[in-house]
Structure 1
């Protein structure tokens, strides 16, 4: 993928993530009379929203880092081994910072 296309996709992703994060951080719902079961459901919904917010925030950070790599002229190179990241990987995940091999090593260490 060429750098111009990558930047456009990353900036679009960033705008979408910012919108999603804004929705997930929305104002708390007004407290109203509810049963205990409804309160449990609200907790589950809040947990789900928090998990989605965490994922969106993490992905937003990855997108910002990818835009920085474009600006530094190193986009498309693995941040660990400096080898090219396969074009198919960048097509699927334009924010990808690592080649498949280095990403696999990183995930196994976790």
Structure 2
């Protein structure tokens, strides 16, 4: 993927993530009378929103890091082994920091 296309895709992703984060950080629960049974539902909704916010924030960090790699001229190189990240991987995940092999090693260590 060429640098211009990568930058455009990453900037679009960043804008979308910022919008999603803003929505998730808003107060989704209106003040109203509720039945006691609804309290459990509110907790579940809050937990779900927190989880989605965590995922969005992590994704945002990855996109910002990818934009930084673009600026530094190392975008498309694995941050662990410095080999090229396959073009197909960057097409699917423009924020990818690692080649498939290094990403697999990282995930197995978790």
TM-score under structure 1 normalisation?
0.97
Q: How many residues align?
A: 110
Instruction: Give the gaps of 5 or more residues in structure 2.
Output: none
Q: Deviations over 1:17-50 (max 9, x none)?
A: 0000000000353432211221111111111000
Q: Distance in 1 between matches of 2:33 and 2:100?
A: 51
Q: Distance in 2 between matches of 1:37 and 1:100?
A: 47
Instruction: Give the gaps of 5 or more residues in structure 1.
Output: none
Higher mean displacement: 34-43 or 95-104? 34-43
TM-score under structure 2 normalisation?
0.97
Q: Deviations over 1:79-103 (max 9, x none)?
A: 0000000000000000000000000
Q: Distance in 2 between matches of 1:104 and 1:37?
A: 44
Q: Distance in 2 between matches of 1:37 and 1:6?
A: 48
The residue number in structure 1 matching 2:44 is: 44
